[in-house]
Structure 1
Amino acid sequence: MKKLLVLGLLAAATNAPAANKAVLLEVPVTYHADAGVVAKVKEECKPEEQLATRVGEVMKKLSREGTGTVASAAEAAEAGDAAVLRLQITHVLGVGGGAFSGPKAITVNAELLEGGKVVRQTKINRWSIGGVFGAFKGTCSILDRSAAAIGKDLGRWVRDPSYQIKEEAAPKDAEPEKQAAAQ
């Protein structure tokens, strides 16, 4: 039984190339060409910077050295033997008005690259209505909560190749947000 457990652990370790090496977030985080984002929210909240900060902090903790990020233009030279996590924002759901205008969400595509080649990819969407004191928070701070949740999920995803990020359903009160965005 112990031999079987040891063999299972060794097999898992060999199937997890990024689990044993540093993973750096490629910055800047970019937008997909068809990304849906309200211009005012993009300008004021800067979701790409929120993601770079939040996910970068997680990658720094996992790597235990450096900044946790690498500039996209210098990826090959600066990354060394580290894996690179590339994020692309595909949608930001949010308008002004904080929690009063409904929940906020960020959707990103994530790619894990090793040696410049994509070894895994996933899509992640996280919603927030602002938490306990959501009624007193603005749109940007609520989106930052979503960015923090994405960082936490991606931290687990890069460490554990078997971890599947589950699609998060929209909160029940997401409908007012859609109506406000349509106006």
Structure 2
Amino acid sequence: MKRLLLLALCLTSSAVLAGERRHVLLETPVTYAAGANVVEQVKDECHIDDMLTHHVGDALRRLNRSDSGTIDANSAPGDAEVLKLQITYVMGVGGGAWTGPKAISLSADLIDNGKVVRHTKFKRWSVGGMWGAFKGTCSILDRTSLIISKDLSRWVHNPRYEIKDEDVPPPASATNAANAATAAPAAASSDTTAEDGGKKED
């Protein structure tokens, strides 16, 4: 009898803890930090802020297991935490992979009840190589923003997870492997959206 009671208490506690996991919403619009270093043509044509809103918002929707992944900066988040992103640097010019590696640097704040509870800054690179040789600059940066969304999803979900900053571009072979790994899930998500109007859970 005592064992059954203990098991019931454990199950109840687990259910309560699971139910208490708070949603995290991306504050929109994603902005550029004051003095952010980015080529104006790339900024105007690639819309990196929209790329991040799309990919990070989708990642948080999946994490929240709900239809909510973003929130307008002027709206009250309720009991949700807010992820605020600022683009601090973009390395990229026109010409796709032929003009060298591309990178996005971000500053991220996790905000709870108006207070910053966690902060991180990091950079993610994408190197063209053979896989990216025929990809335009905007496509390469879009792939980079998808990788960033996965990092941020892990970061907001696990307080012990640290996003490692990439000071220098990784070897082209490693980047091509990462690009190939993210390409298949992205394509699958697009197919799912076309069929049933929603994203498939990871």
Q: 1:130: Cα distance to partner?
A: 3.9
CA deviations on 1:15-66 (whole Å, 9 max, x unpaired) are xxxx921000001000001100000000000111111111111011011112
Structure 1 residue 168: deviation in Å? 1.1
- CA distance in structure 2 between the partners assigned to 1:131 and 1:147 by the alignment: 18
Alignment of 1:94-173 (within 5 A): 94-130=92-128, 133-171=131-169
TM-score by length of 1: 0.80
Q: Which amino acid aligns with 1:45?
A: C
| Number of aligned residue pairs | 155
Q: Deviations over 1:98-135 (max 9, x none)?
A: 00000100001000001111000001210002465200
CA contact (8 A) 1:58 1:68 kept: yes
Identity %: 55
Is the partner of 2:146 in helix, strand or coil?
helix
* Alpha-carbon separation, structure 2, partners of 1:130 and 1:113: 35
Q: Which structure is higher in RCO with an 8 Å CA cutoff and minimum separation 6?
A: 1
Stretches of structure 1 lacking an aligned partner (at least 5 in a row): 1-9, 174-183
Could you say what the CA RMSD is over the residues aligned between the two structures, in angstroms? 2.0
8 Å Cα contact 1:124-1:150 kept in structure 2 = no
Q: How far, CA to CA, are the matches of 1:44 and 1:50 in structure 2? A: 12
CA distance in 2 between counterparts of 1:146 and 1:172 reads: 13
The TM-score with structure 2 as length reference comes to 0.72
1:49 matched residue in structure 2:
50
Q: Which runs of 4+ in 1 moved over 4 A?
A: none
- Matched with 1:37 is 38
Could you tell me which amino acid in structure 2 is paired with residue 142 of structure 1? I
* Contact persistence 2:98–2:128 (CA under 8 A): no
* Aligned amino acid, residue 112 of structure 1: L
